[in-house]
Amino acid sequence: MSGRPDSDTGPDTADSEAAADQDESHDLLDESDKPLNEPDDLLDESGDLLDESGDPLEDARRARWTAVGTGAALTLAGLAAALLRLTRSAPALVPAAYAAGAAVCAAASVLGSRGRTRRALWLLIAGVMVMALGDQFD
C-alpha cells in the first residue's frame, strides 16, 4: 500500500487531454465536416464574414421588425380567441384573460417598434402566459 494511483496518467495529463477535447469540439465546421481553422475560411469572396451580417443597424432593424410582427400576430390571435370565447358558454374570466394577454402583446409590439426589443420579448412572454392562464380556466 504505497498510496500511489494505479494508472500512470497523473492529473496534469488528464486535464490537458480534456482541454484538447474541448478545443476540438468548438471548432467551426464547413459543409464537408472539415474544421475551419484558417481565418480566411470564415470569409467569402468579398472579404465579409460568412455567418454574420456585420452591420449592427441591420441586426437592430431585424429585431425590431421581429418584435413588431410577433406582437401583432399574438395580439390578433388573443383577440380572436377572446371573441370566440365570448360566443360560447365560458366563464367571463376566460375571454378577459385572452383580451388582457392580447393587450400586453400589443404593448410589446409598440415597445418593439421603438427599439426596446428585450422588454418587448419579456412582455410577449408575459402576454402569452396570461393567454395560457385563460386557456386553463376554459
Asked if 108 contacts 85 with a C-beta cutoff of 8 angstroms, the reply is no
Q: In this predicted model, what pLDDT tens digit does every residue of 33-53 receive, in sequence order?
A: 555 555 555 555 665 555 555
Percent of the chain with pLDDT over 90: 44
Average pLDDT (57-76) is: 93
Q: In this predicted model, what pLDDT tens digit does every residue of 21-32 receive, in sequence order?
A: 555 544 555 455
Q: In this predicted model, what pLDDT tens digit does every residue of 73-126 receive, in sequence order?
A: 999 999 999 999 888 877 889 999 999 999 999 999 999 999 899 999 999 999
Residue 1 CB-half CA count within 13 A: 0
| pTM for the model | 0.60
Measured between alpha carbons, how far is 83 from 123 in angstroms, rounded to an integer? 22
Predicted local confidence at residue 26, as pLDDT:
47
Residue 49 β-bridge partners: 43
**What Cα–Cα distance (Å) separates residue 39 from each residue in 49, 56, 60, 118?**
10, 22, 27, 32
